[in-house]
Structure 1
Amino acid sequence: MRITQLNIYPVKSTRGREVDDAVVEPWGLAGDRRWMVVDGEGDVLTARILPRLLTVRATPLGEGRLRLDGPHAEPLEVDGTQADERVTVQVWRSRVEAMRPSTDADGWFGKLLERDVRLVWLDDPRRRPVDPEYGRDEDRVSFADAYPLLLASTGSLQQLNDWIVEGALERGEAVPEPLPMRRFRPNVVVDSEEPFAEDGWTRVRLGGLDFRVVKPCDRCVLTTIDPETLEKGKEPLRTLARHRRWDQKVWFGVNIIPDQTGRLRVGDPATLP
């Protein structure tokens, strides 16, 4: 197996950036989900309910600096290192302190989303631990949902798309276009040929770095939104519910935690111990 894709999502729930190489930090890939949009109460806002976030392209310009591009306004550069206002924000079950760097950035996102919002920067990711049920006391995570990285495989996506076609034919529907991997927003994609082999992994070595595979990833309605058109559909959740449902959830990909830091590159080997 080899790494075929590396992706970062500089602002949570905005468009991903495919990169050729990335630095692995204890809390995830460098530049991944260190920024987040919250409402006036500090609660996380995501593309699950605000799909327009997917139209935003965020480009890291260095530690704490970001360029924002969107369809609604001129590009904006934000510098979190100049922030002097600290706020408490809520990311699902986690409460964590972050910095509010720019009222201009608040207004930029507010214009897009047509509501009062804040853009916040996690200046110190060491503040946020992972779920203790699956991680160690020292494990940390950025503004990702729960764990530092998400890994998916091409073999699993191929099987899922095959199942979607089978279901469409059974219902007498037109065969849909295959779903792209970007629907699932992974950080790392590997070219495993065996579908869902990653379900049984406990460790994986990517390049020269070791990772723990802590749990499969349960999937939400965000996967049903086309990131290009923002149209919502029934797939892949309908098909995952038929073939990949247990514990009242549906599953695709696995969450991983790094035991080492360093650099990953597309083309690096992916091996099992």
Structure 2
Amino acid sequence: MNDLADPATGAPVARVVALHVHPVKSLGGIAVAEGRLGPCGLEDDRRWMVVDPDGRFLTQRQMPHMALVGVARGPGGLVLARAGLGAHAVARPPADGARRMVQVWKDSVPAVDAGDAAAAWLGAALGRPCRLVYLHDTGARPADPAFAPPGATVGFADGFAVLLASRDSLDALNRDLPAAVPMDRFRPNLVLEGAAPWAEDGWRLLAVGAALLRIVKPCSRCIVTTIDQQTAEIPDPREPLATLARTRRARGGVMFGQNAAVVRPGRIAVGDQVRLLEEGPSNLVPA
């Protein structure tokens, strides 16, 4: 079935129970009731990024306390906040602002700096020199062509425009864990419910609201999943990764959730049915 399939023909397999936008990579997220899925994912998701003075991206992998910086949408930009520092409004840099190349994984991407005031506030919040940058050029970073369809792009997310996760699969994982973990450890965009645990391994093309998503690969997980997103503490440095290593190890790492590319933009909302338009064998390829 091609990516212009009629969503009405698909069988309902789940429903959207939560939507999350993370405007600044590795800082706090925002729960939203609805949003538009564009080529780079949900509007505002991972369009901003914290970088070191050399332009290399910074994440909770190096600094778990990045989770303590809250983010809200503000008029023409963002409002950042951290306990003890109050709030700081940041204007979106102008589209004609000077570009600088910043590094996210192996990709060099042109971004616009948000200015010295934002850098000073974030430096105080994080305890190290850093800058805040914004991505205007949403077509500048192609998604991995080994997995994503031609023309798929990504913002400052690790690899793909959308990350979806199943609450049913999290429930199954939590039954195996010594202590349950919440969904925010995995920082998904779309949280679904109503399918059998791990059914998403066999999904290929989904209709969600007015949008179509192409599932491209399972999401390999890192130490960020060990970080309590409310406190920035690490209750158990082994979990949930150790359990995933026993139950969800595959080529490329240990997996939870599915990466997706947007093949038809459109609005989606909490409560939307998820319709399966194309399925296939499990994409959890044994290591």
Deviations 1:197-225 (A, max 9, x none): 11111111112321100000000000000
Deviations 1:20-40 (A, max 9, x none): 001111110001010000001
- 1:92-241 equivalences in 2 (<5 Å): 92-164=105-177, 168=178, 176=179, 178-232=180-234, 233=236, 234-241=238-245
2:22 aligned residue: 9
* Corresponding residue of 2:82: 70
Q: Which moved more, 1:75-84 or 1:191-200?
A: 75-84
TM-superposed deviation, 1:79: 1.4
Question: Structure 2 unaligned runs (5+)?
Answer: 1-13, 278-287
Shift of 1:139: 1.1
Give the gaps of 5 or more residues in structure 1: 169-175
Structure 1 residues 166-189: Cα deviation after superposition (integer angstroms, max 9, x where no partner): xx4xxxxxxx3x211111000001
Q: Structure 1 stretch 204-213 or stretch 5-14: which is displaced more?
A: 204-213
The residue aligned with 1:30 is: 43
For the 8 Å contact 1:72–1:111, the answer to whether it is kept is: no
Q: 1:62 Cα deviation (Å)?
A: 5.2
Bigger fraction of residues in helix: 1
Indicate yes or no: 2:278 matched with 1:266. Answer: no
Asked if the contact 1:10–1:31 (Cα under 8 Å) also holds between the matched residues in 2, the reply is yes
Cα pair 2:68 2:231 within 8 Å, conserved: no
Q: Which of 79, 82, 87 is equivalent to 2:91?
A: 79
Q: How many residues align?
A: 261
Query: What's the CA shift string for 1:128-177, capped at 9, x where partnerless?
Result: 1111111233111111011000000011000000011xxx4xxxxxxx3x
What per-residue deviation string (whole Å, max 9, x for no partner) do you get for residues 22-80 of structure 1?
A: 111111000101000000110000011111110111122356x1111112423111112
Letter in 2 for 1:199: D
- Which one-letter code corresponds to 1:69 in the other structure? A
Identity of aligned residues (%): 42
Write out per-residue CA displacement over residues 90-144 of structure 1, whole angstroms, 9 at most, x where no aligned residue. 0001110100021111111111222111100001211111111112331111110
